[in-house]
Amino acid sequence: MRRIFSVLLAACCLFAFTSCAPAQKTSEIFAMDTFIIQTAYTDNGDVLRQNNEIARRLEDEMSRTIKTSDICRLNAAPGQDVEVSGETAEVLAVSFEAAADTGGAFSPALGSIIAAWGFGTENAHVPEEAELASALAAADYRTVTLDGNTVNTGGAMIDLGAAVKGYALDKAAENLKAGGVESAIISFGGSIYALGKKPDGNSYKIGIRDPEGSENDYMATILLDGKFVSTSGTYERGFTEDGAYYDHVLDPKTGYPVDNGLVAATALCESGILSDIYSTALLVMGAEKGVAFAEERGIDALFLTGDKRIVTTDGFAEKYGLTV
């Protein structure tokens, strides 16, 4: 699922450098069904290219639509043992644990429901009740077993779209540090990581998009330094049928798009994959339940309602310099 979180990349560039400052390097590619945008201050000319290679490699391993991927092979062999890569097994393990932790608000086994709605295709439509009921019956993550790198879906269809970008961001962040980078901001769709501070000493500033505006219209801004942040939104990908809009964020319990008064949820964590996963789970939970869940687990979270109210966990504004 696409994540919606706009980076104020221009803010990274509005200062003068001293002659000894690391060079600014930038990269923008399209991979993992999203734009991957990177800005780093480093003399290491390989680090951003390596991050792009990480993204493409993980896409090849975990895409639901690439026929040679681990996920496509799993979905083509229901009820059979399939060997997957160590990284795919790791993402699956984290995803199953998070599914249980969130009471199913997040699920890595929604492939059949996504297919029933046709999201990501030119044939998006509201499924018939019988079709949706059949898809729901095949969407129980608890039927999946994982033993080392051996996976058996038990008939469920796996989709890691709400986890793999965050995982790729974790790997890219590790690569930045291994490459000696001390200042960078990277965005894998709406999953973002800021390393250190900008060369002028200020924290990186990112914007929370106004769902009714353009990509450069923001409801608020926050300061980010050394954490991962992901946002899930209902307003970027969807379709209209018979005058009604249907977004792509699906409630695993009903099989229908979420409709609880929220249009976006943002999660800040020490891990990219968890920020990715929890942003989806919190959006599905709704503001009241989401705030309670996040505060219990030490997740910093922000929720945006359909009437443009901002709700946060306790202390969020002070911690991240929230400006509305």
pLDDT, tens digit, 9 for 90 and up, residues 80-125: 999 999 999 999 999 999 999 999 999 999 999 999 999 988 899 9
The model's pTM: 0.92
Collapsed DSSP state (helix, strand, coil) of residue 316: helix
Q: What is the DSSP string of 70-128?
A: HHHHHHTSTTS-EE--HHHHHHHHHHHHHHHHTTTSS-S--HHHHHHHTTTSTT--PPP
Tell me: the pLDDT tens digits for 223-268? 998 999 999 999 878 999 999 999 999 999 999 999 999 999 999 9
Going by C-beta distance under 8 Å and a sequence separation of 6 or more, which residues neighbour residue 143? Answer: 109, 153, 154, 155, 156
First to last CA, the chain: 27
Chain segment 14-40, per-residue pLDDT in tens: 333 344 678 999 999 999 999 999 999
- CB-based contacts of 197, cutoff 8 Å, min separation 6: 183, 203, 204, 225
Structural contact between residues 135 and 127, judged by C-beta atoms closer than 8 angstroms: yes
Write down the pLDDT at residue 18: 41
pLDDT at 2 over 70: no
For the segment 159-171, what is each residue's pLDDT rounded down to a tens digit? Answer: 999 999 999 999 9
Q: What is the C-alpha to C-alpha distance for residues 224 and 238, in angstroms, rounded to an integer?
A: 29
Task: Output 8 or 221, whichever has higher pLDDT.
Answer: 221
> To 10 degrees, the CA torsion angle through 128, 129, 134, 135?
70
